[in-house]
Each structure stands twice: as structure tokens, then as C-alpha cells.
């Protein structure tokens, strides 16, 4: 099929392009941006007038809940949610049941995902067997099965020596190590930031130290082992400062932030709103502001959805017992646009944080509009408001702190390999 | 997202539920104290009953074991002529996997008028209040570390009884502030009622991170914290604090933070001592103080029934 996307505002962060022009697609690839390839005759046209045409979004953290947690969400529902959110590539976390610690499981997931013909799925393999933090997984085998990096999700290491060896072994093969910095013993039992709100509501707290102590270990070990480390979902101002310092030293450290954390703080917990029970916890306003600034100055490379669908019953519990997490795939774009609007950042710079930057961290050829690249595209109306409500979300998880709010930015078409996989 | 309206008040600004002392206007707190005053007479009569809640069903939902608080709520309800059902849920449906809201919905279907709830999780009473039918009232009898508003109100009643006016007092809360729902409710009630100086005295391991933001002055030594204090609110110390490495021993705690006659002498000569019970004698308080002339711990228990009667009758009338 030959397709022309006509008259859209084409934004490609990689080439710093932001102009009204046409995009030409043939055989699943981008064959021209602005100029018609010789002999191109479209047999389908998308009118993109007043719409933005950009690379499909790349999400660094999505829980698809398969295998093991199908009652929370299925691969079908969440893959549909991803393309509804304009996401065409996503990294999924290994904390399934069983965890992604064996090549067979990874192959099965890749196979299932491929069969759905939607977004490209890039599994993050378990760094340790069963995510128990004790024994290493067969990382090289897992890579051959399709894993693009290795991590522990939210599970701790039993001790620092195992962590050190995991980083050494991964770096032997040049595999990225993805870690969310949180010291398990310091965070033990906590459900909210150790600040004003937890003080007032009497919620067991997680101090900033739980993040910074772990960060310090990771950074020192990265230096020692030479491992390429990606820090997942940083949450505090002090954490951002430590990452900035590490990068100034030239360490190969990258970093992401969850979309919710750029907008919300502990204050949003209000009277125990369990939709604001997130991991890591929503921190203070100054932390939130540091995350927003860190993303702007490049200390934080990318924004992720941290998509964690939770079934409704698991949220209808007292705050501390309610399951942590929020649905996110369909909110990644509008929440990134909201940050850009509030910070007065041009769209081209904002979209980099959800396209080329996460693609670079994943080490995949995606997130740009160069001719020859796969035609993975997101076409959205930057002005349209939509209300976040259960019926509007494709994800099986309807839990989000933004429930009931209106957000700006509505995906109209999502293309994967040139196929229109979503029309909104 | 933050809810701007107060979940405890109805559309007319009247008390719909009593979940916490935080965010309630002084007028509502004072109305509870004044109403309790009128019930003191009832509790001292031969026939200790008034028909205010006749025909109403009050369910005591205790998801956490408690004898004292549950009993005082039961007595208060009976003196108002209500029908009382006690449910010790820690030992029944929760262990069979029924969720908190399932339990509450089942009981609502039995036409309850009021729930008195105790639960080990902060926010449990708020959750229930948010999901019950609009005609049902919820009283929080203690949720996790968050709030225990009737305890704080009976403490306020006791303070007013002995000190008459809140506006000139210096009040110190001593002990495990971090884990205490009583302390949080006391702090909000005291500051709302106009007490100019509220102090907390505790080692750093027993204080929440931003306790100063609650409007209190923080002290770590009794010698400084008790100086010129009018009212001492002692808190119970749980043995768990030693197991979780927040304190080395009960003995060292008693030596530095236990209330003895010697330390009490640092406060004003007419200072009063309160404790929510049950007391650990020789841990947070010495027997000589607990049983001494400045102790008002037993009157607290008596006033507690009148205060709970007041809360129930006000809620039933709104």
C-alpha cells in the first residue's frame, strides 16, 4: 500500500524538523518527507490538516501483565491501549508471573505480541532468576530470545555483591542494566513520600534517602564495573542532582521519569486517594519541579508511562493496602504535551522525550522520520481536549490520578509498519 | 486529585461523619464539647438513659482488637437508647477474604444508621464514608496512625473542664508521635481551639518527618519541653518500637521520656496529666504520677462516654 499523509505539521525531533508538509509511506516504510518520491502514486490518503505528524511514541516502562496477571489486563487490551496512545514501541517490565527470566517466556511474549500486529514489544529481561536478587539469569540467551536490556523491576537484590556481579556480567556483553533506585530496607513498608502529607495522614513513609542511598550504590558500581545503566523512574530533587553530577563525570548513565510524577505531588493524595498510590511515591512540590527542570535540561532523558493497570477492587482499599500503580499508555502523550505547554517548550523538544530519546536508550531504530525508517507514526490533534474516564480508555486498567480531568492532545491515527492500527 | 470539599461535612456545613479533627471549624468542636457537658448529668443519674437515638442501629465495626474504646462507644450508644451491634471483624469475615467495602455493604443492607469503625490502616474510615449511602454516618474510632477524633475530643473536654480556657495554655504531647493517631488528632484539635503553644517531645525516631508543619514546637528533651507547661498529654509506647530499632529499651525510654514526679515538677505546679490508656506503668509514666493528684486519667474515661454520646447525637440529628 502506498499512503500519503497530507498537509500535517510534521515534527521530527531527530532532524529538528517542524513544518507543514506531506509524508509518503510505501511498503511499510517512510519513503519521503516533504518531497514526493519519483513515481509515487498514493492509493490511500490521510488528511492531516491541523494535526501533528510525528514518530510513533516509544515507551520505556509498560506492564502488559502477561503472563500471570490476565485478570488485571491482557496483552490484547494493553496493546490496543498502547496504539490508542500513539505508542508504537514499548519496553515491558520483567515482573510478570513467572518473571521474564527464561528464553521460552520471552519468545512466547514476542510471538504473542507480534501476532497482534500492533506496537513493537521489547522485553526487559530479568537480571536475576525469579527476580529474587540472588542468582543471575542467562542474559545472553535471553538477549537472543529478544530481550533488549535487563532489570529487576521493583524487586531488590539480596545484597550488594549480587548487584555488582549482575552489572559486571551484563557489561561483559554490553547489555544495559535498568534499575529503579530504591533501597528496600529504607523503603520497607512505606506507601507515601516522607513529607507533609504522610505526616498529616499517618501513612508509613518512604524517605528520599531510600532513593539517594540506592542511587549512590548504583552510580559507584556503574563506575567500577563500566556497566551501562539506565535509571528508571527517578522521583526526587536530590536524585536528579546526583544523576546530573554522575553525567558530568562522564558516566554512561541515562534516566527516565514517569509522566504522572511531572505533574503530581504528595498533595494530590488529598484524603487518601488510592489512585495516587504510586511507585515510586509522589514526592514534594520541589521534587516535582526538579523533575520537570531535569527533563528540560536533559539530566532526565525520557518520559515513560509507567503503565501499571490495576483492577478496580485492588484500588478500593485503604490507601496503604491498595495496589500501587496507574494506567498510563493513553496518557503519555497528553501528559508530555501538558508539561511542554506549562514549561513553554516547543513541541519538537517535548516530543523528543517520548520518541528519539527513549529509542536511543533502548538501542532500537525507531523514534524518527528519516526516509527508509519503518513507518511507525503518531498523528494527533494537539488542540483537542478529551475527558479521562473509564469508557474513554482502552486499557483494562481504569485507575489514574487524572480520572475525570480533561487533557489536551488526542491521537487520531497510529501507524505501525505503515498499517493504520488505530483510528481515534 | 485533591478533593476541595471536606468529606466530613454535609452540604449545609454540618457534621456528616466524624473522621478526623483536622479541617473542622472550632464551632463544631465546641458544639460537641458543649453537648457533652449536657450529657454529664445523664451519666450521673440513677437512670442513665435518654431516648435520643431510640430505634437507631449503631454498628461497632472493629477490624482491630479493642476493649476499652469499643466498650465506651457501646455504653454511649446504649445511654442514648440506640440498638448496638458489636462486630469483631478481625476474627471473622476479613480472614475469609471479604474486602472492607463488602463487609460494610452487607451491614448497610441491614439498615445501619451509624458505623463506628476501627481499622489498622490509615484512611479506612474515609474510604468507608466515601462509599456508604448518604443517610449513614461514620465515626472513626481509630484508623492506623491517622486519627482518633473522639479520643482527642474527650481530651479537649477534660482540658476545658480543668483549665476553662484554651487560649492561654501551653500543652505538651509526649512520646511516640510518629505512630500515634491520638497525637495527630490532639494536635489538630488543640490548634483549632486556639491553644497558642503546642509542643511535642520525643526522640527523633518517634517523630514524623514534617511534624513542625502541623503547627507544633518540637523538643527532644523533657527538661526543656516540659518547662512551664499547663497540660501534659502522654502517649502509649508499643513494644514494637524496640523490635523495629527505633528505641534501645523500655528502660532507657523511661529514664529519658517517662513521666516521673521529678520531671512533672518542671511543668507548672497546677499542670494536669492525661493519658489515653491503656498505660504502661514504668515505661511512659510512673505509677506515682498516674495515680497522683495531678493525674486526670480516670475522669478522662468518664468524660469519654459523654463526648461519644454527644458525637452520636449530633450526627444523628444532621
Q: What is the pLDDT of residues A69-88, one digit of tens each?
A: 887 778 999 999 999 999 99
Backbone angles phi, psi at B108, to 5 degrees: -60, -35
Q: Tell me the three state secondary structure of residue A71.
A: coil
What whole-number distance in Å separates Cα of residue A202 and Cα of residue B182?
Answer: 11
- Backbone φ and ψ for B21, nearest 5 degrees, come out as -85, -10
Q: In the 8-state DSSP scheme, what is residue B49?
A: -
Q: Is the pLDDT of residue B258 over 50?
A: yes
The arithmetic mean of pLDDT across residues B13-41, rounded, is 96
Could you say which residues from 90 to 129 on chain B have a Cβ atom under 8 Å away from some Cβ of chain A? 99-101, 119, 121-124, 126-127
Mean pLDDT of chain B: 93
Cell readout for A415 is 501507524
Which residue among the candidates A59, A306, A365, A383 is catalytic per the annotation? Answer: A306
Residues from chain A contacting residue B214 (CB–CB below 8 Å):
199-200
- B123 and A404: CB-CB below 8 Å? no
pLDDT confidence band for B93 (50 / 70 / 90) = low
Give the pLDDT confidence of A270-325 residue by residue, as tens digits: 999 999 999 999 999 999 999 999 999 999 999 999 999 999 999 999 999 999 99
Q: Which of B216, B232, B225 is nearest to B162 (CA)?
A: B232
Q: How far is B180 from chain A (nearest CA, A)?
A: 8
Q: Are B196 and B160 in contact (CB under 8 A)?
A: no
Closest CA to B256 of B183, B192, B205, B293: B205
| pLDDT score of B3 | 42
Which residues of chain B make contact with A317, given a CB cutoff of 8 A? 99-100, 121, 127
- The more confidently predicted of residues B102 and B79 is B79
Closest by alpha carbon to B33, among B150, B142, B130, B132?
Answer: B150
Quick check: is A306 catalytic?
A: yes
Average pLDDT (A328-354) is 98
Distance CA B76, CA B78 (A): 6
pLDDT bracket for residue B2 (50, 70, 90):
very low
A203:B7 CB<8 A: no
User: How far apart are the C-alpha atoms of B100 and B87, rounded to whole Å?
Assistant: 13
- Testing the interface with B: which of A264, A265, A266, A272 to mutate, by most B Cβ within 10 A? A272
Number of residues in chain B = 318
- Residue that is written with C-alpha cell 514501541 in the block: A89
Among B208, B212, B214, B246, the residue to mutate for chain A (most A Cβ within 10 A) = B208
Q: Which of A199, A321, A402 sits opposite B210 (nearest CB)?
A: A199
- Asked which of A114-118, A193-197, A299-303 is least confident by mean pLDDT, the reply is A114-118
Rounded to the nearest angstrom, the minimum Cα separation between A389 and chain B is 14
Interface of A with B (CB under 8 A): 194-196, 198-205, 207, 267-273, 276, 313, 316-321, 401-402, 404-405
Mean pLDDT over A381-385 rounds to 98
Count Cβ atoms within 10 A of the Cβ of residue B136 and give its class: 0-12 exposed, 13-18 middle, 19 or more buried: buried
**pLDDT band at B92; cut points 50, 70, 90:** low
Q: CB distance A205–B101 less than 8 Å?
A: no
**Residue B95 pLDDT class (50, 70, 90 cuts):** low
**Three cell numbers at B251?**
528502660
Pairwise CB contact (< 8 Å): B123 & A201: yes
- Between CA A389 and CA A333 the distance in angstroms is 16
For residue B65, the distance in angstroms to the closest alpha carbon of chain A comes to 18
Contacts of A205 in chain B (CB under 8 A): 208-209
pLDDT at position B1, please? Answer: 36
pLDDT band per the 50, 70, 90 thresholds, residue A255: very high
pLDDT digits (tens, 9 = 90+) for B113-130: 999 999 999 999 999 999
Q: How far is B23 from chain A (nearest CA, A)?
A: 11
| Per-residue pLDDT, B223 | 97
The cell 463526648 sits on which residue?
Answer: B307
**Closest by CA position to A86, among listed A328, A308, A418, A415:** A415
| Chain B partners within 8 Å of A199 (Cβ) | 208-211, 213-214
pLDDT tier at B318 (50, 70, 90 boundaries)? confident
Across the interface, of B2, B119, B209, the residue whose CB is closest to A199 is B209
- On the question of a cis peptide bond just before residue A280, with omega within 30 degrees of 0, the verdict is yes
End-to-end CA distance of chain A: 21
Q: Among A362-366, A378-382, B44-48, B155-159, which stretch is predicted with the lowest mean pLDDT?
A: B44-48
Amino acid at each position: 500500500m502506498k499512503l500519503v499523509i497530507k498537509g500535517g505539521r510534521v515534527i521530527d525531533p531527530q532532524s529538528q524538523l517542524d513544518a507543514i508538509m506531506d509524508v509518503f509511506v510505501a511498503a511499510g516504510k517512510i519513503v519521503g518527507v516533504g518531497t514526493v518520491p519519483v513515481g509515487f502514486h498514493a492509493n490511500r490518503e490521510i488528511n492531516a490538516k491541523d494535526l501533528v505528524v510525528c514518530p510513533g511514541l516509544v515507551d520505556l516502562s509498560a506492564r502488559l501483565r502477561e503472563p500471570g496477571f490476565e485478570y488485571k489486563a491482557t496483552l490484547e487490551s494493553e496493546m490496543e491501549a498502547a496504539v490508542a496512545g500513539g505508542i508504537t514501541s514499548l519496553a515491558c517490565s520483567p515482573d510478570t508471573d513467572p518473571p521474564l527470566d527464561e528464553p521460552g517466556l520471552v519468545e512466547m511474549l514476542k510471538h504473542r505480541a507480534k501476532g497482534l500486529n500492533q506496537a513493537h514489544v521489547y522485553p526487559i529481561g530479568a537480571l536475576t532468576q525469579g527476580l529474587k536478587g540472588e542468582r543471575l539469569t542467562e542474559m545472553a540467551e535471553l538477549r537472543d530470545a529478544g530481550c533488549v536490556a535487563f532489570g529487576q523491576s521493583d524487586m531488590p537484590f539480596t545484597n550488594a555483591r549480587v548487584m555488582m556481579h549482575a552489572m559486571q556480567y551484563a557489561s561483559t556483553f554490553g547489555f544495559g542494566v535498568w534499575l529503579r533506585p530504591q533501597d528496600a530496607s529504607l523503603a520497607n513498608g512505606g506507601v507515601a513520600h516522607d513529607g507533609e502529607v504522610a505526616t498529616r495522614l499517618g501513612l508509613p513513609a518512604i524517605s528520599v534517602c531510600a532513593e539517594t542511598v540506592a542511587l549512590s550504590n548504583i552510580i559507584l558500581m556503574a563506575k567500577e564495573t563500566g556497566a551501562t545503566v539506565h535509571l528508571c523512574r527517578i522521583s526526587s530533587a536530590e536524585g536528579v542532582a546526583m544523576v546530573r553530577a554522575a553525567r558530568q563525570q562522564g558516566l554512561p548513565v541515562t534516566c527516565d521519569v514517569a509522566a504522572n510524577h511531572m505533574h503530581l505531588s504528595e498533595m494530590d493524595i488529598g484524603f487518601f486517594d488510592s489512585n495516587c498510590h504510586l511507585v515510586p511515591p509522589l514526592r514534594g512540590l520541589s521534587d516535582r519541579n526538579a523533575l520537570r527542570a531535569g527533563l528540560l535540561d536533559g539530566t532526565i532523558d525520557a518520559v515513560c508511562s509507567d503503565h501499571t493497570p490495576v483492577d478496580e477492587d485492588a484500588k478500593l482499599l485503604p490507601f496503604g493496602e491498595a495496589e500501587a500503580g496507574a494506567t498510563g499508555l493513553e496518557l503519555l502523550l497528553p501528559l508530555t504535551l501538558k508539561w511542554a505547554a506549562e514549561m513553554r517548550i516547543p513541541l519538537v523538544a517535548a516530543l523528543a522525550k517520548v520518541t528519539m530519546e527513549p529509542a536511543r536508550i533502548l538501542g532500537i531504530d525507531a523514534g524518527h522520520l528519516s526516509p527508509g525508517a519503518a513507518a511507525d507514526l503518531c498523528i494527533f490533534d494537539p488542540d483537542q481536549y478529551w475527558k479521562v474516564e473509564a469508557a474513554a480508555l482502552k486499557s483494562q486498567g481504569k485507575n489514574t490520578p487524572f480520572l475525570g480531568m480533561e487533557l489536551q492532545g488526542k491521537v487520531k491515527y497510529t501507524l505501525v509498519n505503515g498499517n493504520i492500527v488505530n483510528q481515534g | 486529585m485533591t478533593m476541595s470539599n471536606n468529606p466530613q461535612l454535609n452540604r449545609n456545613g454540618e457534621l456528616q461523619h466524624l473522621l478526623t479533627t483536622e479541617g473542622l471549624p472550632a464551632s463544631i468542636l465546641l458544639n460537641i464539647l458543649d453537648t457533652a457537658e449536657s450529657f454529664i448529668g445523664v451519666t450521673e443519674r440513677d437512670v442513665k438513659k435518654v431516648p435520643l437515638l431510640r430505634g437507631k442501629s449503631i454498628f461497632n465495626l472493629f477490624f482491630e482488637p479493642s476493649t476499652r474504646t469499643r466498650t465506651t462507644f457501646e455504653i454511649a450508644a446504649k445511654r442514648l437508647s440506640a440498638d448496638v451491634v458489636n462486630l469483631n471483624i478481625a476474627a471473622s469475615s476479613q480472614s475469609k477474604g471479604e474486602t472492607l467495602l463488602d463487609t460494610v455493604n452487607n451491614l448497610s443492607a441491614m439498615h445501619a444508621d451509624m458505623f463506628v469503625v476501627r481499622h489498622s490502616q490509615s484512611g479506612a474510615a474515609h474510604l468507608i464514608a466515601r462509599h456508604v449511602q448518604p443517610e449513614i454516618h461514620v465515626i472513626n474510632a481509630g484508623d492506623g496512625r491517622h486519627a482518633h477524633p473522639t479520643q482527642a475530643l474527650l481530651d479537649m473536654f477534660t482540658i476545658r473542664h480543668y483549665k476553662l480556657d484554651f487560649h492561654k495554655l501551653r500543652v505538651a504531647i509526649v512520646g511516640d508521635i510518629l505512630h500515634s493517631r491520638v497525637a495527630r488528632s490532639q494536635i489538630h484539635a488543640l490548634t483549632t481551639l486556639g491553644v497558642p503553644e503546642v509542643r511535642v517531645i520525643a526522640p527523633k525516631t518517634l517523630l514524623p518527618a514534617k511534624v513542625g508543619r502541623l503547627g507544633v514546637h518540637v523538643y527532644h528533651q523533657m527538661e526543656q519541653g516540659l518547662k512551664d507547661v499547663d497540660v501534659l498529654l502522654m502517649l502509649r509506647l508499643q513494644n514494637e518500637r524496640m523490635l523495629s530499632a527505633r528505641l534501645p529499651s523500655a528502660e532507657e525510654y523511661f529514664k529519658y521520656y517517662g513521666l516521673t514526679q521529678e520531671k512533672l515538677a518542671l511543668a507548672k505546679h497546677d499542670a494536669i496529666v492525661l493519658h489515653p490508656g491503656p498505660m504502661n506503668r514504668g515505661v511512659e509514666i510512673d505509677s506515682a504520677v498516674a495515680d497522683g493528684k495531678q493525674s486526670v486519667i480516670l475522669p478522662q474515661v468518664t468524660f469519654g462516654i459523654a463526648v461519644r454520646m454527644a458525637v452520636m447525637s449530633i450526627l444523628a440529628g444532621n
